Structure 1
Amino acid sequence: MEYIEICLNEYGIEQGKKELLGKKLYAHQEIIFEKIKETQESKTPRVIFNISPTGSGKTLSAYSPLLENPKYKAVGIYPTNELIADQLETLTAWGLNCFPLFAEEIDKIELSYEETSLQRSEIIERIIKAPNRQVILTNPDIIYYIAFGKYFTFEKPQRFIGNILSAFDLWVFDEFHLYDDKQKAELLAIIFSAMCVRYLDKTPVFVILSATPDFGIESIMKKMNINFEIVKAKEGDKIIQEKVNLKLIPTDLYHWQGLNKLLEIDSCIDEVYREKSSLVILDSVFQAMDYANHLREKGLDVSELHGLKRDKNGLKAHVVVGTSAIEVGIDPKEENNTYKQAVVFEARTFSQFVQRLGRIGRGNKKDRTSFVLALVPQYVYDKLKNLHQSSISRPEFFKKLESSYVKNLLFEKSISEVASLTIFNSFQKILTLVENDEEKAKIKAFFWNLTGRRFDEMKSIQQDIKEAFDSEYETFENVLFSFRNFTPTTLVVTQNDAFFMDLYDVLRRYRIKQILKTDSEIKEALERTIKDKEICTLKYKKSKKDKSCISAIEIENIYENNKRKVMVTMEIPDDMFELNYRNLYLSPIKFKVASSNNQELEIIRELNQLLKSVFFPCFIVSREDVQNLQQKTHSFLPPLFRGYPYIEPYESVEDCEDDKTIYLGRNALLMWSTFLEGGEIL
């Protein structure tokens, strides 16, 4: 087995003097505590970046003021619901009154209020204004829909938006490294809006947390005279990260060979799994499922944590296999018997490496050494060969590691081409809440500095898009104003579970037993599989309400090795003109599958028939052009940035050269904006 072996020394940070929760704060926590207090006293809003390393207590640094002043009200924004659940457990243990505000929780409340017909906006307002509630934990989607006025059916939501934006003393944005440039610009606009609209005489503080920051927005904040500071823990004597024995294995991650590499070195790491409680983090859900089954066959106690499965014993199993859902702030802990002694992971990017490494070795024991096996790209491995059998500090290693990795494409042009539309929509409403002409001019100036567009030209651009997308413009807006992607999904019902999955993956991976066509068929299938009636009802409601969910299906089994070939084409209805804005299409899609099985082909035809009523933003580009883009920008597409093999409507799957990619939903908007140059495709 080819590998580089490195010893990472323990790492410590400066201790502070102030005590909270029965122990002294770290110095960086104390600094942020004081800065938040200063902000409240000065009545001048402030943005604080905490870029301290994993395991240094960034969460406590953000919420510490609430532990001394129960009148403070905070909102925490987290990119995954799994992380919300993890933070809810932590903050509740500290004695804070918290509520998790995401779609499933709102659905539960809607079920209990069905007869009163409350709007979702009213439910949100009741949750936020509940007496003694200190912390609202939510995801960016909810914040987007509030800030952009998309959660409301009444005519003038401006006053409501103002009330919500000014409801909090403290805003916490966690895992900021996961946001692309479009999302960062939109969140910066939301922060600016909350600074401008202050109905409740609060002075908001915005704390942004990330151990692997990649800002790009400091210059904008400087232009707009936004008060911001960057805080990072200084090295000191208080150990927070223990020694790690690190092995780097070169792997072809570009072609998704992580699982094959693990199987290839199976005999070498078998002893690790048997002797040490372990965590395995892979990028592919299917590869995680396959690897978990492989380890179970070896007699190991294994649980899975990913988008399709969350075992009840969770992190307490001897070996936990999961995906990126684990790396985003979910921390194995000694106090709840989930601490892990070893971690095995893929690392396509520097950020992935640091975040996944950060799941292990947390503590202050000098006599304990954790084991890490990292699968890294060959080019990274080659640059780090000279570190073999060395002992090195974490800061020094991370500096060398970061310089070895190629950066992700950040989609900078999406700020002017796409984010400008969402922010314009929001600022139109915010301007009606501001009476001072000087403040209005400041908002428009901020828009210019952020997007590079004049505020007054946006109505014309918006009108052009409305005319191009005609009656389906609302569909385009729904994608535009969402934090997440919009691709065709289906509710999959198995013998013992039910979950939502990308339809493309279903067609590649599973043999479909039947399409559940009626409401009663869906409900009956769910009730056979899931005993909890509330969960059945919530999954059923989501399948009917989610516009990207085009069907519910029952499956029989899994195809081996993903051998089935599936391709995607656009399917423009006969009675419609092509909906096209500067080569960005809005269209239904159609799946083509290589199969000679008549029953299978009939099911595909039925699914394609259902897809005819759903329009997706689509952008088609050759693989060669994408490769040229990456070479030109010296960057790679983000690891899980999804595109689908494209086929022309008249081509057969067997004869297609598979040299084009079609991007759907939000990814289509990002790629489209990247390939625009002076209004034309590059």
Structure 2
Amino acid sequence: MTGDGKSLAAFLSTLQDEKNVIALYPTNELARDQESQIKNYINLFQPELEPRVNRLSSAELELYAEQEKLKKASAIESRSKNSDILITNPDLLHYLHRKAYLSPYDNPDKLWNRIDKNFDFFIFDEFHVFSAPQIASVINTMLLIRHTNRNKKFLFLSATPDEQLIEKLKKAQFTYQQIDPIQAKKYQFPTTKAESKKLQSQHWRQVSREISLEFIPLESAFSASETWLKENKELILDRFIIPPNPPLEGGNMISSNLSSKTGEMIPPNPPSERGGNMTSQRFCKTKGAVILNSIAAVKRLVPISQELFHPYGLTVGENTGLSGQQTKLASLETDLVFGTSTIDIGVDFKINFLIFESSDTGNFIQRLGRLGRHNSFQRNGETIPFDQFTAYALVPKFLVERLFETTSPPLQVNQRYDRPQFNEVIRENYRKINNFQGYIRFAQSMIKSRLGVAKRNPTPIINNYPNLILHTLSDGQLNLTYHSIAENRGVLTNVVNNAVMEAYTEAGYEPLLYLPTGVIYLCDRDTPPISPDSLPQRVVETITSLCRSQLQAKQTGFGRDGKGMKYAEYYDLFFDEKALMEVALSATLRILRDGKASSAKKRSDNLLSYQQEGILSSDYNFQFEDDIRIDQLAEFGEKPLIILKRLVSKIRRFRNRQTLI
């Protein structure tokens, strides 16, 4: 959960055990914020040997290299040597492991080899916002570090972890420990003030406060959020100059609400007429943020809001990727700050009013997590407590329909939800833009386009350039190989292909590209070759299995001839005795299904006549009326005897063979 102390836990090894750490953050703004936070940790813990903290981004690398008159590779090496905690980003780590800062004449491991040796711990913070290529590069870097036999630890931090990363780590055969505070019951969700006070007396720390969340459904238009903010600017102002309703009790909960379909904002109370001394109307207990996706929208909205807020003694700030450092710092002290992703990823600021738009699941949860982290804020040296926390989510209409307007909606208006429960609902119903599976499909399509010339003949691909590239990139650890069938014979070719492919995959080959007469595989260089001797029997077994499944499904060859159920002789080729009895029973019940006319009465009359003639014993009662179940039993009854005779015949042949031997 956002704000629960993950960052502090990550750096305890450095503060207590003097371990060297590389901390990687997805944005420069977050890296800058965390640098300040780490220095606060050092002041708090007062370690015996104070760790040296340095931050390194591409811009800072340029400046440092220029100031010290060093090449970039030397500048990176110098900076890392003089750091116990190096704060940077995953892209820079990836590039230095790809020899991006070296000349063609340098040893490939000249830079990363030394850096990997110097640091014990690699921290990837807010990894849920890493793009799919970043995640791929991180795992590749981890594999390289492991391959060089270095005993390093990697720590991934996120309030909204992605299971796809866990799957990739499993596939790469990394040992891992997943820390789930919810499963470990490290979170409590009080619903009343009394419960909150009890937990505080037991030294529980409040991570988040109760939020009243309003969903604003908007059309999927580029400027929909900006238009809504312009239309509701007066009501936004009312949040700062009119006291809100009494706060809800409890903590760490979300109360869901839904505005009208038109997207009209619900005011805190009926707004009073503005007039008189406007500055005196200022309500000092509100501090807010508006987080948007577009820098241009922020640039247009800030002057409009400044003009509206200024007469009331209220300030409006701007915090985007284009804002200078001083402007960013000053914006966090204003009454209302307009920002973009520079302030929603991990930056800790104190607000109780939030309006945000989002583009996907992670975006939504991350931005909502900026609210409710603090009980108060500072203004002119005075501590001002927050009364309540309110958020407005500007979301597409389809999301509101999924959450509130289905037959069994996952959310109800004016209901309370704890954060894990609410976040899970958002994950299940909102889109996931940063999806690693999409990246895999894209990568596969790129590889397939490169391998497209192999549609008829894969040999050039395996023996020439693509295999050479793969061999080089994997340091000789991976190869491409293939199987190919001489002719395409329709369905039979497909059956043979599948049987051979099954043999390859069982041996550890990964299918990469499917061709009309074969498959290209990716494999480890030590993967054992496939013996052709085992393939004919595997193909026969595959064909037998296919025919067996079709006969079980369709029961072709079963029928009635007046003396019971009969079946075609080819069933003996595909079924043993037990399986054949099961198919026969199924066919009998299908042909003599319920509702079909019964001949049981005729059977009864025949049996009674045999009994009167003394052929059948008088000890049995053969008096019964029409019942289809009796017909089913009669028709199927001789099958076990026939199959049993066949089994006895097999046993006799086997014994005779043993006698001859």
TM-score using structure 1 length:
0.51
Change over 3 Å in CA distance of 1:286–1:171 after alignment to 2: same
Identity among equivalent positions (%) equals 25
- Return the match for 2:60 from 86, 89, 105: 105
Question: Aligned-pair distance for 1:121?
Answer: 0.6
- Return the match for 1:357 from 357, 360, 368: 368
- 1:253-652 map, 5 Å: 253-274=220-241, 275=283, 276-298=286-308, 299=310, 300-310=314-324, 311=327, 312-332=329-349, 339-363=350-374, 368-385=387-404, 387-408=412-433, 410-416=438-444, 428=472, 431=475, 454=522
- Indicate the residue corresponding to 2:122 in structure 1: 171
SS of the residue 1:146 aligns to: helix
SS of the residue 1:88 aligns to: helix
Question: Aligned-pair distance for 1:424?
Answer: 10
SS of the residue 2:367 aligns to: helix
Larger radius of gyration: 2
Deviations 1:394-432 (A, max 9, x none): 222222222221332533223445699999989947749
- Indicate the residue corresponding to 2:209 in structure 1: 242
Q: Which whole-Å CA distance do the structure 2 matches of 1:136 and 1:207 have between them? A: 15
Deviations 1:104-123 (A, max 9, x none): 22222222233xxx221111
Change over 3 Å in CA distance of 1:416–1:180 after alignment to 2: farther
SS of the residue 1:371 aligns to: strand
Question: Aligned-pair distance for 1:166?
Answer: 3.2
Q: Contact (CA 8 Å) 1:279, 1:340: kept in 2 or not? A: yes
Indicate yes or no: 2:27 matched with 1:80.
yes
- Return the match for 2:76 from 124, 129, 143: 124
Indicate yes or no: 2:4 matched with 1:56.
yes
Q: Contact (CA 8 Å) 1:120, 1:151: kept in 2 or not? A: yes
Q: Which whole-Å CA distance do the structure 1 matches of 2:447 and 2:387 have between them? A: 48
Change over 3 Å in CA distance of 1:430–1:76 after alignment to 2: farther
The residue type paired with residue 413 of structure 1 is R
SS of the residue 1:289 aligns to: helix
Q: Which whole-Å CA distance do the structure 2 matches of 1:175 and 1:147 have between them? A: 21
Q: Contact (CA 8 Å) 2:355, 2:393: kept in 1 or not? A: yes
Change over 3 Å in CA distance of 1:249–1:231 after alignment to 2: same
- Deviation larger for 141-150 or 151-160: 151-160
Q: Which whole-Å CA distance do the structure 2 matches of 1:119 and 1:326 have between them? A: 33
SS of the residue 2:337 aligns to: strand
Q: Contact (CA 8 Å) 1:180, 1:411: kept in 2 or not? A: no
Indicate yes or no: 2:195 matched with 1:195.
no
Question: Aligned-pair distance for 1:180?
Answer: 3.1
Q: Which whole-Å CA distance do the structure 2 matches of 1:447 and 1:188 have between them? A: 21
Indicate yes or no: 2:97 matched with 1:152.
no
Change over 3 Å in CA distance of 1:406–1:108 after alignment to 2: closer
The residue type paired with residue 129 of structure 2 is L
The residue type paired with residue 315 of structure 2 is D
Q: Which whole-Å CA distance do the structure 2 matches of 1:231 and 1:176 have between them? A: 15
Change over 3 Å in CA distance of 1:93–1:60 after alignment to 2: same
Q: Contact (CA 8 Å) 2:213, 2:392: kept in 1 or not? A: yes
Change over 3 Å in CA distance of 1:425–1:356 after alignment to 2: farther
Change over 3 Å in CA distance of 1:418–1:57 after alignment to 2: farther
Q: Which whole-Å CA distance do the structure 2 matches of 1:138 and 1:368 have between them? A: 38
Change over 3 Å in CA distance of 1:125–1:449 after alignment to 2: farther
- Indicate the residue corresponding to 2:599 in structure 1: none
Q: Contact (CA 8 Å) 1:343, 1:373: kept in 2 or not? A: yes
Q: Which whole-Å CA distance do the structure 1 matches of 2:58 and 2:127 have between them? A: 21
Q: Which whole-Å CA distance do the structure 1 matches of 2:476 and 2:440 have between them? A: 29
SS of the residue 2:177 aligns to: strand
Question: Aligned-pair distance for 1:246?
Answer: 1.3
Q: Which whole-Å CA distance do the structure 2 matches of 1:91 and 1:449 have between them? A: 46
Change over 3 Å in CA distance of 1:352–1:134 after alignment to 2: same
Indicate yes or no: 2:209 matched with 1:141.
no
Q: Which whole-Å CA distance do the structure 1 matches of 2:467 and 2:221 have between them? A: 35
The residue type paired with residue 123 of structure 1 is A
Change over 3 Å in CA distance of 1:453–1:314 after alignment to 2: farther
Q: Which whole-Å CA distance do the structure 2 matches of 1:295 and 1:428 have between them? A: 57
SS of the residue 1:64 aligns to: helix
Deviations 1:525-579 (A, max 9, x none): xxxxxxxxxxxxxxxxxxxxxxxxxxxxxxxxxxxxxxxxxxxxxxxxxxxxxxx
Question: Aligned-pair distance for 1:173?
Answer: 0.9
- Indicate the residue corresponding to 2:154 in structure 1: 206
Question: Aligned-pair distance for 1:177?
Answer: 1.6
Change over 3 Å in CA distance of 1:224–1:404 after alignment to 2: closer
Change over 3 Å in CA distance of 1:258–1:171 after alignment to 2: same
Question: Aligned-pair distance for 1:266?
Answer: 2.2
Segments of 5+ residues of structure 1 without an aligned counterpart are 1-52, 333-338, 434-444, 458-682
Question: Aligned-pair distance for 1:243?
Answer: 1.0
Q: Which whole-Å CA distance do the structure 2 matches of 1:102 and 1:306 have between them? A: 18
Question: Aligned-pair distance for 1:193?
Answer: 1.0
Change over 3 Å in CA distance of 1:374–1:219 after alignment to 2: closer
- Indicate the residue corresponding to 1:184 in structure 2: 135
Question: Aligned-pair distance for 1:288?
Answer: 0.8
Q: Contact (CA 8 Å) 1:148, 1:425: kept in 2 or not? A: no
* Corresponding pairs, count: 380
Q: Contact (CA 8 Å) 1:342, 1:360: kept in 2 or not? A: yes
Change over 3 Å in CA distance of 1:195–1:246 after alignment to 2: same
Q: Contact (CA 8 Å) 2:97, 2:141: kept in 1 or not? A: yes
- 1:663-674 map, 5 Å: none
Q: Which whole-Å CA distance do the structure 2 matches of 1:277 and 1:252 have between them? A: 28
Q: Which whole-Å CA distance do the structure 2 matches of 1:74 and 1:84 have between them? A: 14
Change over 3 Å in CA distance of 1:120–1:225 after alignment to 2: same
Question: Aligned-pair distance for 1:273?
Answer: 4.0
Q: Which whole-Å CA distance do the structure 2 matches of 1:217 and 1:145 have between them? A: 21
TM-score using structure 2 length:
0.53
Q: Which whole-Å CA distance do the structure 1 matches of 2:511 and 2:81 have between them? A: 34
Question: Aligned-pair distance for 1:186?
Answer: 1.8
Change over 3 Å in CA distance of 1:129–1:301 after alignment to 2: same
Q: Which whole-Å CA distance do the structure 2 matches of 1:292 and 1:326 have between them? A: 16
